[in-house]
Amino acid sequence: MKKKVIGLIDGQSGNIGSINKAIKEIIKGKPYQLKIIRGEFDYSLFNKIILPGQGAYATLISNLKKLKIYKPLKTYLENNRSYLGICVGMQILSDQGHEDKTTRGLGIIAGEINKFKSKKLIIPHMGWNSIRLKKEDSIITNNLDNKDFYFVHSYIFQNIKKSNVLANTHYGKKFPSIIKKGNIYGVQFHPEKSHKYGLNLIKNYILKS
């Protein structure tokens, strides 16, 4: 049987060690293989692509362009191929990000990235917070509703269509913590740092979606 190929993008935005380890554990003994993407790639060779990201939106976009990952990734996503974006890897799916300056995103899921506004909030939103499931899905089943995941971010996905939101989280206000359009997923938290429920989600994404 031909193995399915999972691509893990190293966008030089935070380390990929934890997610790499998690994927390897999940696919052990199963018909999958993992390839790390560090430069230009043939998107048609991949069945799934995971992009973890930390730090700034503009930095990740410019790293992906510099590494020649941006174009094949955009084509892959425009073809509605399976993708999981983590933290900034989710945020860059939007039309644009407003950090120090405005940066154009991949434009796959309508919306934009803005800073948490309230002056009273401790920023970054750092630590464990629960998700409220809006819609059950193959990656996120009812038993993960109300469970805690590890967040660390100062920006949130806004002006998103309700139909693209699978789960919300509350910090000062409600914001989308899991989003989906077609075969493309994004999670604002770090499932690879979120103990058993986080691993559960990655497992569902790889084996069930």
Q: What is the contact surface with other proteins in residues (CB under 8 A)?
A: 13-15, 17-18, 21-22, 54-56, 59, 119, 121-130, 148, 150, 152-154, 170-171, 190, 192-196, 198-199
User: Which is closer to other proteins, CB of 112 or CB of 192?
Assistant: 192
CA dihedral 119→124→128→130, nearest 10 degrees, is 50
Identity at 85, one-letter amino acid code = G
- Greatest distance between any 2 Cα atoms in the chain: 56
Active site residue 40: no
User: What's the CA gap between 89 and 150, in Å, rounded?
Assistant: 15
Q: How far is the CB of 45 from other proteins (least distance, A)?
A: 28
Q: How far is the CB of 129 from other proteins (least distance, A)?
A: 5
User: Which is closer to other proteins, CB of 183 or CB of 197?
Assistant: 197
Active site residue 190: yes
Which of 202, 178, 203 is closest to 191 using CA atoms? 202
User: Which is closer to other proteins, CB of 129 or CB of 183?
Assistant: 129
Stretch (H or E) spanning 171: strand 165-171
Catalytic residue among 25, 125, 192, 195: 192
Catalytic residue among 87, 112, 125, 153: 87
Q: How far is the CB of 96 from other proteins (least distance, A)?
A: 19
- Cβ density class 158-184: b for 16+ within 10 Å, e for less: bebeeebbbbbbebeeebbbbbbbeeb
User: What's the CA gap between 91 and 203, in Å, rounded?
Assistant: 21
User: Which is closer to other proteins, CB of 24 or CB of 65?
Assistant: 24
User: What's the CA gap between 42 and 47, in Å, rounded?
Assistant: 11
Q: How far is the CB of 1 from other proteins (least distance, A)?
A: 30
The residues annotated as belonging to the active site are 87, 190, 192
